[in-house]
Amino acid sequence: MKKRLVLIALVATSLLASTNTALADAQSDYQLAFAQYKTALANWNVALKAEQENFKTAMQNWNTAVKAAEQARKDIATKFKSDAEAIKARTIAAVTAATTAKDKKAANAAAKIELDLAIAARNAALEAVVKPGMKPTKPTPAPMPTPPAKPAKPIKPSKKPAATKSPA
């Protein structure tokens, strides 16, 4: 009888010891995976913030380029408008000073040529304005690392046997 009890005790302790080591291994694996997850999450946060900062800088540079191009276009338009008004004023003065129809026609032709030259200069200046390019696109963030799955807790045997309901 004593041998039988010793054998049962040995079997029971070996069963419990093997589940405890398996549980300890699962727990240490989980802790290692969780540490790796924390590192991956920190790296992901750093990368995400770097992407956002790069996008913010790109947007600021693009906005500056757009404003500079718009200001250059406005300056060109203002210069052309003042040149056109000066040409118009000179033409009116030349036409009123002209005594013959031939002189008036020549003054108008000279004004038209001068205006065409001003238009060509304006168009060349507009072509020389640096285009800001495409608007930067907002970066799509990389997917967040997934946390490791927690190890399953061992099922403890209950002290009471499961009650079965009898069909009545």
What confidence tens digit (pLDDT) does each residue in 24-51 have? 566 788 888 888 999 999 999 999 999 9
Q: Provide the pLDDT confidence category of residue 139 given band limits of 50, 70 and 90.
A: confident
Whole-model pTM?
A: 0.60
Rounded to whole angstroms, the Cα distance separating 50 from 48 reads 5
Rounded to whole angstroms, the Cα distance separating 26 from 155 reads 15
Q: Provide the pLDDT confidence category of residue 68 given band limits of 50, 70 and 90.
A: very high
> How does DSSP classify residue 133?
-
Rounded to whole angstroms, the Cα distance separating 112 from 102 reads 15
Rounded to whole angstroms, the Cα distance separating 39 from 43 reads 6
Rounded to whole angstroms, the Cα distance separating 100 from 80 reads 31
CA nearest 77: which of 118, 17, 26? Answer: 118
Query: Could you tell me the sign of the dihedral formed by the alpha carbons of 105, 108, 114, 119, in that order?
Result: negative
CA nearest 109: which of 94, 130, 120? Answer: 94
Q: Provide the pLDDT confidence category of residue 59 given band limits of 50, 70 and 90.
A: very high
The mean per-residue pLDDT over the stretch 100-125 comes to: 93
Q: Return the C-alpha torsion angle 49, 50, 51, 54, nearest 10.
A: 120
**Alpha carbon 108 to its chain's center:** 57
User: Average per-residue pLDDT in the chain?
Assistant: 83
Q: Using the predicted structure, report yes or no on whether residue 87 has a pLDDT greater than 70.
A: yes
Quote the tokens at residue 41. Answer: 């999450």
Tell me the domain boundaries of the chain. 10-128
Q: How far is CA 36 from each of CA 25, 30, 32, 143, rounded to the nearest angstrom? A: 16, 10, 6, 16
The pLDDT assigned to 114 comes to: 94
The pLDDT assigned to 19 comes to: 47
| CB-based contact 69:129 (threshold 8 Å) | yes
| CB-based contact 47:142 (threshold 8 Å) | yes
